[in-house]
Structure 1
Amino acid sequence: MTSVLNCSDSPTASSSDAGVVASLVDLSRDLQKSMLALRSEFMSEDGRGVDYVAMRSSSLFDDYKAKAERLQAADVSTIAGDDHKAFFINIYNALTVHGLMALPSVPSSVLEVQDFWKKTSYRIGAHVYSLDDIEHGILRVNKVHPASKKSQFAEGDPRIQFCCSRVDPRIHFALVCGAKSCPPVRVYDGAKIDAGLSRAAKSFCSQEIEVNLDEKKVIMSKIFEWYGGDFGDTATDVLKYCLDYLAGKQKENLQMLLDQCGSSLKVEYKPYNWQLNKT
């Protein structure tokens, strides 16, 4: 399994000799444009399916890889706030796709690839960031990894300085790990990140939360079980958080059950479909 990708797909890729760019903001915008072009050409309209085979041999993907190579000379400290959040969400999703296409053949499921999220990485400036580093270290502010039960970055890790200032639970409606049960692939703009993440939250919650009034239970995506602590202390807290992103009868019915049952409301989690999100 390739460790560090960037442009060359080489496990020995190292920091560029071109020096450090003045700002990561401009490069982030260039990468956004490239990812939007790839999404338009090789992904289904709803963003849930990717044509990995066609993308791998395309000039658009060559253009993306050329831009990704410039990450090795980037200075992460030059990007902050909403631009920082959007950059790392976009890089996570792009790295997932890049990592799958760097394999000898496209798998049927990401689970077939040993340590995919631990080893699939980009060098960004002075440090290497794996998919796990980006999600659990940077975006989740070094909270406990649901699988390893420990923080992603050890004490003293220099990458801790680049963690987001707080956890925004809506990232879970934006990060795409390559499975069919993941949210759709979207490209986020720092200037519009709040509206973009809210749209993603509304779309995901409306599709992944089922309210059964007769049985007085709610059926939800496994994402809400794995990362429940990012939304609140209890399953009830998670449901209350999601109310803001529901509408119509779905919201009305969930509110009714919460009022009737409170913390005793039964919650079940759907099996996660790990089949690859390919067209």
Structure 2
Amino acid sequence: MRARYVLGMPPLCMEFYMTRLPIIAAALFLLAGLTSCSSGCLSLFVPKAEQIDSPIVDDLRKDPDEAQSFDHSDYGELLERHVDYDTARVDYAGLKADEAELDAYLDRLAKADLTELDDDGELALLINAYNAYTLKLIVENYPGLESIKDLDNPWKTKRYKVAGYTLSLDDIEHGLIRPIYKDSRIHFAVNCASVGCPPLASWPYEGAKIDKQLDQAAERTLGDERYARVEGDKLYLTSVMNWYRPDFVSDEFSPSAESLPLYAAKYGGEEVQKLVETREGEPAVSFLKYDWALNDVEGARE
């Protein structure tokens, strides 16, 4: 009997331990990996671009006989007033004072007729809807909010009305924008109210200008050393490009490139372009730690 005891464990305890050892080992391995890895590990948990099962998709697929435009000018006035595009910060205190104006725009989004818009007009509306509803979410909980991640299910809660349909933020981005329009540049246009996120534009997206505006968003982000920079012989990129890597390098999306460095060189600054060219498109790459702190102007003053 004594020979069956190990480390002071009685037989039944030892049997229990041994049958669960693989599970325990796997859990410890995963925990060690998550605690030691950079923010790039989060790519394992990023939502895929999968079209949602909703009649809104049918509306988006309809080609209008004569495309109309949706007026985003009132939203543009709010952005111009409260967004500092250079610092990538938002004056949430000021926006909260103008919350009624934001609500009025959101009410118009809720009643929009998507069947009247062409593809560019739809994409512009959905990007604006994502950003405007994110602003609304922050304003509702401001002040006293340090990060959007402090909120309960900020991206998965279905509460945002667009064209008569109730959606979540994830529905808008991952269930509609990414799988339907397949434009990699949208990752520089949608904003999650965080310091690490590509800057929120101080103007609304518009169907007639959407291609130029998305180029501007990509250039604004990858031309900024906060999101893409060279240190020594290594290229550092925003973790957004790691999380959504397939969108940047897959032929299914456009624009795309054979590698993340080549994509970054397409829109990045001279230093980034030079390194990528010197290394024949294959420089060493690391990803910048993502900062989930609220992108509030007050935070920038501290």
* TM-score by shorter chain over 0.5: yes
Shift of 1:105: 4.3
Cα deviation code 1:53-92 (max 9, x no counterpart): 222122xx31331232233333322222111111111111
| Aligned ranges 1:97-108 → 2 under 5 Å | 97-103=135-141, 105-108=143-146
Name the residue aligned to 2:151: 113
- Aligned-partner Cα distance in 2 for 1:129–1:217: 40
Q: Quickly say closer, same or farther: Cα 1:209–1:67, change in 2 above 3 A.
A: closer
Shift of 1:198: 0.7
Name the residue aligned to 1:87: 125
Cα deviation code 1:164-189 (max 9, x no counterpart): 3x311000111110001112222212
Secondary structure of 1:220's counterpart equals strand
TM-score normalized by the length of structure 2? 0.67
Q: Which stretches in structure 2 are left out of the alignment for 5+ residues?
A: 1-65, 251-255, 298-302
Shift of 1:118: 1.0
**Structure with max Cα Rg:** 2
Residues 211 and 219 in structure 1, CA contact (< 8 A), matched pair in contact too:
yes
2:264 to 238, 242, 247: 242
TM-score normalized by the length of structure 1? 0.73
- Aligned-partner Cα distance in 2 for 1:198–1:55: 27
Matching of residue 188 in structure 1 with residue 210 in structure 2: no
RMSD: 2.4
| Aligned ranges 1:157-172 → 2 under 5 Å | 164=180, 166-172=181-187
Matching of residue 57 in structure 1 with residue 57 in structure 2: no
Name the residue aligned to 2:81: 41
1:232 to 239, 249, 252: 249
Name the residue aligned to 2:228: 209
Secondary structure of 1:116's counterpart equals coil
Shift of 1:225: 0.6
- Aligned-partner Cα distance in 1 for 2:176–2:248: 17
* Partner AA of 2:272 in structure 1: Q
1:122 to 160, 165, 183: 160
Shift of 1:256: 1.0
Cα deviation code 1:95-150 (max 9, x no counterpart): 10011112364511011112101116322234212111111011111xxxxxxxxx
Name the % identity.
Answer: 29
Q: Report how many aligned residue pairs link the two structures.
A: 223
Q: Which stretches in structure 1 are left out of the alignment for 5+ residues?
A: 1-22, 142-163
- Aligned-partner Cα distance in 2 for 1:48–1:169: 20
